[in-house]
Amino acid sequence: FNAHFLSLLKAQGEQGSALLITSVVRTMNENFSPIVQVRFLVNGKEQKGGAPIDLSVPWRLPRG
């Protein structure tokens, strides 16, 4: 993703950002098996801070 994606997350706040990220992870998980976790990079780099949610770790869906 690019810096615009990061701006979008900031505008969405913590709850909206978590929903957006979870939606992307769910889409990847359901359509590109065996993907179970997704790492989000901004301009090809790991993001540390600057977003209302933690993008420094891979995201995965809760097991259920």
Number of other CB atoms surrounding residue 28 within 10 Å:
16
Structural domain boundaries in the chain:
3-60
**DSSP 8-state code for residue 63:** P
In the structure, what pLDDT confidence band is assigned to residue 64 with cuts at 50, 70 and 90?
low
d(CA 34, CA 13) in angstroms, rounded, equals 30
Q: Token digits for 45?
A: 């780099």
pTM: 0.85
For 10-62, how does the pLDDT look when each residue is reduced to its tens digit (9 = 90+)? Answer: 999 999 999 999 999 999 999 998 999 999 999 999 998 888 999 999 999 98
